[in-house]
Amino acid sequence: MTGSSIAIHLLRGNEATPYLQDLAKLRILFYRNYPYLYEGTLTGEENYLRMYANSENSLLAVAKKGKEVVGAVAGIALSETQEMHKKQWIQQQLPAENVFYLGEIVLLSEYQKSDLQEKLYQQFEKGVKGLKRYDSIVVCEIERDPKDSKKPANSLSSEVRWDGRGFVRQPALNTYYSWKEVGDLKETDHLMGFWSKRVL
């Protein structure tokens, strides 16, 4: 798939291996901004992302302009994510075997207002449907106070990002993730909410 000299490739399992470092760099750049304000490390990101290359049940839609990776969407079977991602399903005894977890949508800043994010997501969803064993996709988003003083004027709400793609907020699945925000001395807990979409 191509557009404006950008090619999108859909990869599965260990096909993601050559892109893990690029994806780690994108995550650090992307999540450093509001609403996450996440201060990550390249080593930590690469260790986290290795789960995609180590599983046959993962997908990576990657956008390249020439040799440069400018955006990506990555996900994996919910049952194979880290414990913090699936603990709500475990605690509430919800079935997870047919759920696909969308882990990240990340782009370089110059592409974030283009249609590239939507093209990447559509390719990713098409890939999930093609696996023919997952009936829903879930994504976990930070829940910031709408009146947060750190919020930029042009920041989009979760509703704008996910309602438009057919996702529905699941209020019973709130959880907390901990990370260090940019400029902070220690990690703090952040309220996270889940959104889901039926795909089969």
Q: What is the pLDDT of residues 82-128, one digit of tens each?
A: 888 898 898 889 999 999 999 999 999 999 888 999 999 999 999 99
**Residue 42 belongs to some domain of the structure:** yes
Total number of domains in the chain: 1
Q: What is the pLDDT of residue 4?
A: 58
Does some domain include residue 170? no
Q: Amino acid identity, residue 157?
A: S
- Give the pLDDT means over successive 10-residue stretches in the chain (200 positions): 76 96 96 94 94 96 96 96 89 92 95 92 97 96 90 81 92 92 95 94
| Rounded CA separation 21/161 (Å) | 26
Three-class secondary structure of residue 49 per DSSP: helix
In CATH, what number is assigned to the domain containing residue 54?
3.40.630.30
160 lies in a domain?
no
How many helices (H) does the chain have, and how many strands (E)?
Answer: 5, 8
Token digits for 164?
């438009």
| pLDDT at site 3 | 47
Contacts of 79 (CB under 8 A, 6+ apart): 86, 96, 97, 99
Would 100 be classed as within a structural domain? yes
Phi and psi angles of residue 139, each rounded to the nearest 5 degrees, phi first: -135, 145
User: Which domain does 77 fall in, by range?
Assistant: 2-140
pLDDT, residue 154, reads 81
* C-beta of residue 80 within 8 angstroms of C-beta of residue 55: yes
Residue 175 lies in a domain: no
